[in-house]
């Protein structure tokens, strides 16, 4: 019966299987040789690194990271180094289109940039617009425009301080405001940074002008923490341009002396007359014709645009939400990094431009200028009439005065004072 149905499917007696089994020793030898060659080749690179085989242990959803592999280098774009781009947002809808214009224009390979947004305390449609713009960007027909992983976090911190320029920039608001912003940054930082990120980039949304290659420009200096100079354009009547970010500075004797006189919880904020520190500010050291590669070591830094290595945060540096050496948030972060022996630098002649954001004072000045113009026009009309009546209205009294003067002086002549004068006090 067996012969009628042909050879059984798994018969060990077929001539072909016989031949394969006969070759088994040779096959094993070849596999062993290949494996040895592979091992020798690979062991040159990862000779003493342990790499657990999770597949073999059947540990589902278990990930292994060799953190030695994610140190940032000066040319990260050649080495597939990933950046986590952190963006804190609060009532930022008005700035998002401009911000996404910058993000799209970035020259660092987009697939190596992951984006993390923290939306907090927003009364406008920051979240809705953000989602719309991200969807648009990630659906771009050109795949090189697509970014890596994108995460949006939402958390309110209960903003005690308003968002107007003067609310935010007034002196008394600075300490509490900076501490709150530090907390927000730490929340975002702690959830956004993944083991495979070599770099962290912090950027404010209200930057108006910025080179598309800023990531490469900052990265190739290969510092632990680095910031550009930040200025803002001004209307002509205010002088054309102005340093914006005064939080990037080098410590001074005056600053240290001031710190010693302050209460333990006090927070020094730069750029206010209340705290004169005489510190050299990155912003004021700018020379428009200076070499953009020039580096300056800093102690405090501003938060408009910070590139830092991931390891800075992994070893514990953060944005202090308390007084650290009398500083908080980004300035405290700079000081903390220095205390931890990390390199903190700024580029005095490499400038990005913040939007011009008129303060209440600026607005008052504009109002005054408008009123002044009206006043000048009115004054001109008055002057015309005045000039017309001047000639007819003016009469010389010089001669009359000469006569009167002689008579007055006669009365006070000392030689005649002894004379007997009779004064008639009667009514007529
Ligand atoms: C992005 O690049 C385009 C083309 O060079 C330019 O017109 C545009 O102004 C840039 N956007 C921003 C926000 O700089």
Per-residue DSSP letters for 17-51?
HHHHHHHHHHHHHHHHHHHHHHHHHHHHHSTT---
**What is the spatial distance between Cα 237 and Cα 239, in angstroms, rounded to a whole number?**
6
227 contacts 346 by C-beta, under 8 angstroms: yes
326 contacts 388 by C-beta, under 8 angstroms: no
Q: What is the mean pLDDT of residues 370-381?
A: 80
Distance 170 CA to ligand 1 centre (A): 33
> Which position has the token pair 């009115």?
378
**What is the pLDDT at residue 411?**
65
Band of pLDDT at residue 16, cut at 50, 70 and 90: low
Ligand 1, residues at Cβ distance < 6 Å: 98, 101-102, 105
The separation between the first and the last C-alpha atoms of the chain, rounded to the nearest angstrom, is 171
* Residues forming a β-bridge with 305: 203
Higher pLDDT, 304 or 387: 304
SS3 label, residue 255? helix
Distance 169 CA to ligand 1 centre (A): 30
> Which of 23-32, 282-291, 358-367 shows the highest mean pLDDT?
282-291
* Structural domains of the chain, with CATH: 69-357 (3.90.550.10), 364-416 (no CATH)
Q: Crossing angle for the helix pair 126-138 and 96-105, nearest 10 degrees?
A: 30
State yes or no: pLDDT of 418 exceeds 70: no
Higher pLDDT, 330 or 22: 330
State yes or no: pLDDT of 38 exceeds 70: no
**What is the pLDDT at residue 266?**
86
Band of pLDDT at residue 62, cut at 50, 70 and 90: confident
Distance 321 CA to ligand 1 centre (A): 36
Distance 97 CA to ligand 1 centre (A): 12
Poorest-confidence range of 72-81, 287-296, 307-316, 373-382? 373-382
- Report the nearest-CA residue for atom 3 of ligand 1: 105
**Mutation test of ligand 1: which of 96, 105, 107 has the most ligand atoms closer than 8 Å to its C-beta?**
105
**What is the pLDDT at residue 412?**
59
Q: What is the mean pLDDT of residues 20-32?
A: 70
**What is the pLDDT at residue 49?**
65
Report how many helices (DSSP H) and strands (DSSP E) the chain contains, helices first.
12, 10
pLDDT tens digits for 152-201?
999 998 865 555 666 565 666 678 888 999 999 999 999 999 999 999 99
238 contacts 368 by C-beta, under 8 angstroms: no
Distance 104 CA to ligand 1 centre (A): 9
Strand intervals (E) in 204-240: 207-209, 225-233
**What is the pLDDT at residue 403?**
78
State yes or no: pLDDT of 245 exceeds 60: yes
Distance 254 CA to ligand 1 centre (A): 43
**Mutation test of ligand 1: which of 95, 97, 100, 101 has the most ligand atoms closer than 8 Å to its C-beta?**
101
Q: What is the CA radius of gyration of the chain?
A: 39
Higher pLDDT, 345 or 359: 345
> Which atom of ligand 1 is nearest to 105's Cα?
1
> Which position has the token pair 């504009």?
366
Higher pLDDT, 370 or 394: 370
Higher pLDDT, 48 or 111: 111
Higher pLDDT, 369 or 175: 175
Proportion of the chain above pLDDT 70, given as a percent: 78
> Which atom of ligand 1 is nearest to 98's Cα?
13
**What is the pLDDT at residue 235?**
78
**What is the spatial distance between Cα 82 and Cα 196, in angstroms, rounded to a whole number?**
7
Band of pLDDT at residue 69, cut at 50, 70 and 90: confident
State yes or no: pLDDT of 14 exceeds 60: no
State yes or no: pLDDT of 402 exceeds 70: yes
Q: Which two tokens stand for residue 278?
A: 């005489």
- Report the nearest-CA residue for atom 5 of ligand 1: 105
> Which of 11-25, 270-284, 402-416 shows the highest mean pLDDT?
270-284
Distance 246 CA to ligand 1 centre (A): 27
**What is the pLDDT at residue 7?**
42
């Amino acid at each position: 019966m067996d012969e009628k149905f042909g050879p059984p499917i798994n018969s060990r007696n077929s001539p072909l299987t016989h031949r394969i089994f006969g070759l088994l020793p040779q096959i094993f030898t070849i596999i062993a040789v290949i494996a040895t060659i592979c091992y020798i080749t690979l062991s040159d690179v990862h000779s003493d690194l342990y790499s657990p085989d999770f597949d073999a242990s059947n540990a589902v959803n278990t990930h292994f990271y060799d953190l030695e592999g994610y140190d940032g280098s000066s040319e990260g774009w050649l080495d597939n180094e990933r950046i986590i781009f952190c963006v804190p947002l609060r009532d930022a809808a008005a700035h998002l289109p401009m911000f996404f214009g910058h993000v799209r224009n970035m020259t660092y390979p987009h697939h190596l940039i992951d984006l993390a947004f923290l939306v907090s305390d927003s009364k406008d449609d920051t979240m809705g617009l953000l989602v719309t713009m991200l969807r648009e960007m990630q659906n771009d027909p050109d795949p090189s425009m697509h970014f890596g992983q994108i995460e949006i976090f939402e958390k309110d911190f209960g903003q005690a301080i308003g968002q107007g320029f003067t609310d935010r920039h007034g002196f008394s608001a600075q300490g509490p405001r900076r501490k709150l912003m530090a907390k927000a940054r730490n929340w975002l930082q702690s959830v956004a940074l993944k083991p495979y990120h070599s770099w962290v980039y912090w950027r404010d949304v209200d930057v108006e002008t910025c080179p598309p290659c800023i990531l490469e420009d900052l990265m190739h200096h290969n510092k632990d923490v680095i910031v550009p100079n930040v200025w803002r354009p001004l209307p002509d009547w205010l002088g054309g341009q102005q340093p914006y970010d005064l939080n990037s500075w080098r410590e001074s004797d005056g600053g240290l002396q001031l710190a010693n006189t302050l209460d333990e919880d006090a927070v020094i904020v730069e750029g206010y007359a209340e705290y004169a520190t005489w510190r050299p500010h990155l912003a004021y050291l700018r020379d428009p014709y200076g070499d953009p590669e020039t580096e300056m070591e800093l102690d405090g830094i501003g938060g408009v645009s910070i590139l830092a290595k991931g390891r800075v945060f992994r070893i514990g540096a953060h944005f202090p939400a308390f007084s650290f050496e009398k500083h908080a948030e980004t300035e405290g972060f700079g000081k903390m990094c220095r205390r931890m022996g990390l390199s903190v630098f700024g580029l005095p002649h490499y400038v990005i431009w913040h939007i011009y954001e008129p303060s209440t004072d600026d607005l008052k000045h504009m109002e005054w200028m408008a009123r002044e113009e009206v006043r000048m026009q009115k004054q001109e009309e008055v002057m015309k009439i005045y000039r017309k009546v001047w000639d007819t209205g003016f009469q010389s009294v010089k001669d009359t005065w000469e006569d009167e003067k002689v008579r007055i002086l006669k009365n006070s002549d000392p030689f005649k004072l002894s004379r007997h004068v009779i004064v008639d006090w009667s009514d007529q």
